[in-house]
Chains A and B, each alone.
Chain A
């Protein structure tokens, strides 16, 4: 059972970061829905609830999502829907229930780089960036590949403002289970971005498949070709939810469905 000996309600990011560095067993608390499934005894749980990090706002270039924003807020937000269609709603609405999604935070999910995440592929396909308290702003892709960031605070997610067509595809064994595989696709001015998650490893971009589609004069004609390549490009594996070969078949089929959705 997850436990910690001290609850620390931070009054500033500086204070939270200082507290985080005091002990390697100090941890930033997100929604704690997944953290509580572990057995690690932590020293101090640092809470960011009072830092006004619960927001979805816009600047000239970006949509900014605070680290303490919940999945439920993403799912129902009009601004996100205006720019990116239904992708946040479709990707998140089947994650357990409203009560759960009202608790789970964007910051904890992204910082933890959960391989089963339905949100991370969506953000990856939208070319999102992460803002870290100490590490500054870096692309989500770089952040996911970075191994050395362990003690930092994810402050916000920045998504470039662009009106695009999007699609989220996934297969689950039951309605509210984790995805066996998921796929987020974005079409911005006929430039396709594809992110694959629940491989079961952490989400990644299908860059070669994207290149096949984006270099083509007629994307629709290249779909079959892309379906053949994506399985070679994206490393898939087996786990209790599905075998590697099943995932290969699903990925290919979901790619076709998703590309067709963002072209129409």
Chain B
């Protein structure tokens, strides 16, 4: 079937198999920031935004993205760069393999939650696993990132 969708602001028409998953389609199309991790829906590495909401591309049928807006990390260069600097400052960035999916989830969270508590942040992000850095340094980086966004909006 022919999938018509918008990826990072560009309209695309892609020939897919009816049972293709979005992760496979995006990677075949060259969006390699979308990582394949557990492939069972548990790790969050393959996170993308579909119409602004974070979803697992490994578990979402590509056919369901028809007519919708897909965003990968490349769609948020400014936010990604700023967030990466906070991650680095807190020692929360190591191998970086989980970073694209993790950063997209953080970006979605900043749009969805107003002034979240640490508990709310941790629950929002409990689907993004990181094997090397640990989560407390990530939490510090997120707080600092959100503080900057708050100051920008003031």
Interface of A with B (CB < 8 Å)? Answer: 2-7, 9, 29, 31-33, 36-37, 45, 47, 49, 93-94, 96-103, 175-176
Q: Do A98 and B127 touch (CB < 8 A)?
A: yes
Chain B residues within an 8 Å CB radius of A6:
18
Question: How many chain-B residues does the 8 Å CB contact rule pick out?
Answer: 27
- Give the CA-CA distance A6 to B17 in the complex, in Å: 9
Q: Do B59 and A32 touch (CB < 8 A)?
A: yes
Q: Which residue of A lies closest to B1 (CB)?
A: A7
How distant is A89 from chain B, measured CB to nearest CB, in Å? 9
Name 20 extra pairs, CB < 8 A, besides A29-B61, A45-B18, A99-B127. Answer: A2-B19, A4-B19, A7-B19, A7-B61, A33-B59, A45-B19, A45-B61, A47-B63, A97-B44, A97-B128, A98-B54, A98-B109, A99-B105, A100-B41, A100-B42, A100-B56, A102-B55, A103-B41, A103-B55, A176-B127
Q: Which residue of B lies closest to A4 (CB)?
A: B19
Q: How many A-B residue pairs have CB under 8 A?
A: 77
Contact of B47 with A by CB under 8 A: yes
Q: Which residue of B lies closest to A8 (CB)?
A: B18
- CB<8 Å pairs between A and B, sample of 23: A2-B19, A3-B19, A6-B18, A9-B63, A31-B59, A32-B61, A33-B41, A36-B21, A36-B59, A37-B40, A45-B19, A47-B63, A93-B123, A97-B105, A97-B126, A98-B124, A98-B125, A99-B55, A99-B105, A100-B59, A100-B127, A103-B56, A176-B126
